[in-house]
């Protein structure tokens, strides 16, 4: 008696197809709902690091003015 192969599972316990479907849905959602944020406009590690520090326990709408002022005064790590 042969046994049907079970679908390959990811570490999350989902099948590879389920993970791929989720990935497609979340990327589609993001393309519609993404916000235009200054730290997403470039890949400068300094600006990304600063945004991560500000957003640790602060909402984006509260952190953004601080980010803008800080980057205006200290545009580089130097």
Closest CA relative to residue 10, chosen from 23, 21, 19, 22: 19
Out of 21, 22, 29, 52, the active site residue is 52
Report, in angstroms and rounded to the nearest whole number, the Rg of the chain calculated over CA atoms.
20
Is 52 in the active site?
A: yes
Closest CA relative to residue 48, chosen from 57, 56, 39: 39
Catalytic residues: 52
């Amino acid at each position: 008696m042969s046994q049907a192969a079970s679908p390959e599972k990811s570490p999350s316990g989902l099948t590879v197809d389920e993970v791929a479907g989720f990935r497609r849905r979340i990327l589609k959602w993001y393309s519609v709902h993404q916000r235009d944020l200054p730290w997403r406009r470039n890949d400068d590690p300094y600006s990304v690091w600063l945004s991560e520090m500000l957003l640790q326990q602060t909402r984006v709408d509260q952190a953004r003015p601080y980010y803008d002022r800080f980057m205006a005064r200290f545009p580089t790590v130097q």
